[in-house]
Amino acid sequence: MRKQRTLNNSIQASGVGLHSGKRVKVILEPAEINTGIVFLREDRNKRIEANPENVADTQLATTISKDGVYIRTVEHLLAALFGLHIDNIIVRINAEEVPIMDGSAAPWIYLIKTAGIVKQNAYRSVIIIKKPVRIKEKGKFAAIIPSSKFEINCSINFDNYFIQKQKMCISLNENNFVKEISKARTFGFLKDIEYLQAHNLANGGSLDNAIVVDEYGIVNEDPLRYKDEFVRHKILDAMGDISMLGADIRGKYIAYKSGHDLNYKLVKKVLEDKKAYEIVGSPDKEKTVLRAMQMNLRQEAISI
């Protein structure tokens, strides 16, 4: 297990909301042990914790709310915090949507590292997946299965000549999250923009904060950051969504054509099945549980 972490200093950023199109200011502040990730809507004087109970909407982004007050598009910031093992933080925000920045988690990584990261005198809880949990809907699939580490196996399949099928498997740690996942940008299709804006979505979208894809390739002048940037961004989104479990994870997330809605349903289903997981809060207990789990996995492999 590892010690909990927070920021060394506060740091401020501003930008535009992807869907609202509104300018917004965000301040990231250090927080005490066991605070968790807490958003504070300063214009409404409302605290909203980033947890499954507060997830209110998953249409094209993840929205959390409390008492009718919303904060939209939290997933990229949550992924950055999860990937850098930031456990306790106050996110002060003066509008309804987290700024999209460049469409990836990279600007948040820069801000967090600029503020500095400090260890705290308490251990981070670990959620250990003990049996498979699956969700399947309309040809889409998401699951989490036992593993001694945190892994993601993600596949996408779009009816688009340029994207088509992409797949990536990665065992995640802080270094390869920053290098391999954090810079992957959100994306959308040129043919859908008019429809989205007619439904009050993507009002702040531009070629500066999203990859726009037409029938033949990307509309953006800047090239892709990764050859398979699209599936990497899906992994980024999934990290933000499953970070709502509120602990480090020992398990393997597997997804096919999944999105925010299926990710959230998977998180909810895991927490509803008390036999599917165990939360460990002491280093010695985690070692014992992991040793038992590794023996079970080896026995399953032999039987297969």
Same domain? 182 vs 138: yes
Q: Report pLDDT digits (tens) over 44-74.
A: 999 999 999 999 999 989 999 999 999 999 9
Q: Is 260 a catalytic residue?
A: yes
- Looking at residue 194, its pLDDT comes to 83
Q: Report pLDDT digits (tens) over 104-123.
A: 999 999 999 999 999 999 99
**Token pair for residue 124?**
């981070």
Contact 81, 89 (CB under 8 A): yes
Same domain? 71 vs 151: no
User: Residue 79 is part of which domain span?
Assistant: 3-123
- Looking at residue 303, its pLDDT comes to 42
The enclosing domain of 211 has a CATH number of 3.30.1700.10
Widest distance between CA atoms in the chain = 58
- The residue out of 91, 108, 123 marking a domain boundary is 123
Q: Region 27-37: what's the mean pLDDT?
A: 98
Structural domain total, the chain: 2
pTM for this one?
A: 0.92
The enclosing domain of 21 has a CATH number of 3.30.230.20
Same domain? 296 vs 198: yes
Catalytic: which of 19, 76, 233, 260? 260
